[in-house]
Amino acid sequence: MDNYFYRINNLLNGKFYYGSHSGKKYNYCGSGVIIQRAIKKYSIENFQLVILKKFKTRKEAYDFENRFLKLYKISSLPNSYNIKDAALGGDTFSNNPNKELTRKKMSINNKKRMQNPIERKKCNAFKDVSEERLLELKEKWSKASTGRLNGRAKKVIANEKLYYTLNEVAEDLNLTRMQVRYRLQKGIFKYVDG
């Protein structure tokens, strides 16, 4: 596998695109939205790929691309197809002139996909969890999200009274959280297991 830094030249208008790639293909023409549109508009025959530098690893190629794009501020040049001075892709959505149309299409496609029970199940992170376990988790999360208790809170016994959070102890006893932690470390207050 070859790792290289390249420049693509538009032979008709003099515009260019810099990037890096890993692979055997020497006809690769970049993944940027603007360069892809230009290739579609002018046809691939009107573009020339020039390999500027080869590297041993993919990381070296991307690091070089990153430094080069930032150093020369390539995206700000008038003839550049690059939209960002960084490797590994640019912000192709916010610079997209059709972003509102794209956003609507994505929303419609997601709604259609979620109406299909099979597709909805594919997106479910808990698809392999049994119904019993799922009910148990839902009950646990429900308890954890009610009132002042959160999933990571530890119960504390201070002055023979049960508190659900450190903040609760601090407020009730007019202490800072740091003072409560100090007393927990010294064994004056105690955490409750479970």
Asked if residue 131 is part of any domain, the answer here is: no
Asked if residue 45 is part of any domain, the answer here is: yes
Asked if residue 137 is part of any domain, the answer here is: no
* Dihedral pair phi/psi, residue 143, rounded to 5°: -65, -40
Domain containing residue 186: 156-191
Low-confidence ranges of the chain (pLDDT < 70): 25, 88-99, 120-128, 142-151, 194
Which of 76, 104, 133 lies at the terminal end of a domain, its last residue? 76
Helix, strand, coil percentages in the chain from 3-state DSSP, rounded to 5: 45, 20, 35
The answer to whether residues 45 and 30 touch, using CB atoms and an 8 Å cutoff, is no
pLDDT of residue 122: 66
pLDDT of residue 125: 64
pLDDT of residue 116: 76
Look at the chain and report how many structural domains it folds into. Answer: 2
Each residue's pLDDT tens digit, 101-111: 777 877 787 77
Which CATH number does the domain housing residue 63 bear? Answer: 3.40.1440.10
Which of 52, 76, 100 lies at the terminal end of a domain, its last residue? 76
